[in-house]
């Protein structure tokens, strides 16, 4: 049976979005404070931002002191991200985490933080989470930010993960698991999965 590829699973779809000037939820001060509170970042951390888009979160992690690389399969996004981060040490690469083998620089145990901000919804999340567990050091963290599908308006539910998926994600696979919301109504929620098992 031939699988059906939803258009938002292709780099061409995202290139088109970015050429049209698409942007997503800004990484505001409140989000950064909540991120710091729940992850307690250390400046020596090595981090990756998967599906980094225009690289706003990647840059925020760099400003927190981390060595960070953003990856996205949209060449347009990576080009914009590189241009807007030229004055920082954040770096960006084009990479498709669904269809390509993992980037050679991401080796087992080499990372302290894997960030998926508004991107896991569009990725092969089983594969990504299994890979992230291998990439992380023993106390490493996967930080996921996602919309909850049921809380999105009917026309944009495809952007979110169902509540049941968010509820179960990472259980039994990490030593600790914390959830917090970015919005008062819980439309956008975050998971901190620490200590891969
Ligand atoms: C909604 S945007 C979020 C971008 C950014 N993380 C942010 O918070 O602004 C989702 C991003 O995931 C990227 N993406 C989707 N599937 C991908 C894949 N298989 N490999 C790499 N990037 C992917 C898209 O190109 C897009 O930039």
User: Would you list the domain boundaries of the chain?
Assistant: 7-18+26-196
- 111 DSSP β-pair partners: 136
From 73, 76, 143, the mutation candidate for ligand 1 (largest count of ligand atoms within 8 A of CB) is: 73
* pLDDT digit string, tens, across residues 55-104: 999 999 999 999 999 999 999 999 999 999 999 999 999 999 999 999 99
Tell me the whole-structure pTM to 2 decimals: 0.96
* pLDDT digit string, tens, across residues 120-178: 999 999 999 999 999 999 999 999 999 999 998 888 777 899 999 999 999 999 999 99
Q: How confident is the model at residue 5 (pLDDT cuts 50, 70, 90)?
A: low
Structure tokens at 142: 């996967």
Cα–Cα dist 186/147, whole Å: 8
Q: Average of pLDDT values for 176-184?
A: 96
The CA angle 45-47-51, to the nearest 5 degrees, is 165
Cα–Cα dist 38/87, whole Å: 28
Whether 7 shows a pLDDT value over 90: the answer reads no
From 51, 60, 85, the mutation candidate for ligand 1 (largest count of ligand atoms within 8 A of CB) is: 51
Q: Which of 64, 171, 50 has its CA nearest to residue 117? A: 50
Whether 8 shows a pLDDT value over 80: the answer reads no
Whether 180 shows a pLDDT value over 90: the answer reads yes
Q: How confident is the model at residue 3 (pLDDT cuts 50, 70, 90)?
A: very low
Structure tokens at 84: 């807007």
Tell me, using a 6 A CB cutoff, whether residue 145 lines ligand 1.
no
Whether 6 shows a pLDDT value over 70: the answer reads no
Cα–Cα dist 53/73, whole Å: 9
What class does CATH assign to 7-18+26-196?
Answer: alpha beta
């Amino acid at each position: 049976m031939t699988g059906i590829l939803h258009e938002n699973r292709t780099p061409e779809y995202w290139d088109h979005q970015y050429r049209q000037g698409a942007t997503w939820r800004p990484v505001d001060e409140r989000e950064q404070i909540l991120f710091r509170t729940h992850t307690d970042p250390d400046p020596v951390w090595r981090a990756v931002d998967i599906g980094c888009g225009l690289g706003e979160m990647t840059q925020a992690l760099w400003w927190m002191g981390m060595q960070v690389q953003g990856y996205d399969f949209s060449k347009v996004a990576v080009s914009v991200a590189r241009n807007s981060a030229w004055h920082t040490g954040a770096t960006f690469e084009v990479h498709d985490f669904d269809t390509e083998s993992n980037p050679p620089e991401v080796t087992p145990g080499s990372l302290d933080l894997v960030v998926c901000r508004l991107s896991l919804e569009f990725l092969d999340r089983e594969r990504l989470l299994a890979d992230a567990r291998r990439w992380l050091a023993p106390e490493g963290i996967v930080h996921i930010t996602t919309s909850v599908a049921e809380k999105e308006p009917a026309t944009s539910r495809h952007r979110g993960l169902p509540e049941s998926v968010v509820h179960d994600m990472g259980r039994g696979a990490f030593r600790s698991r914390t959830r917090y919301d970015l919005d008062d109504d819980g439309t956008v929620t975050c998971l901190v999965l620490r200590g891969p098992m």
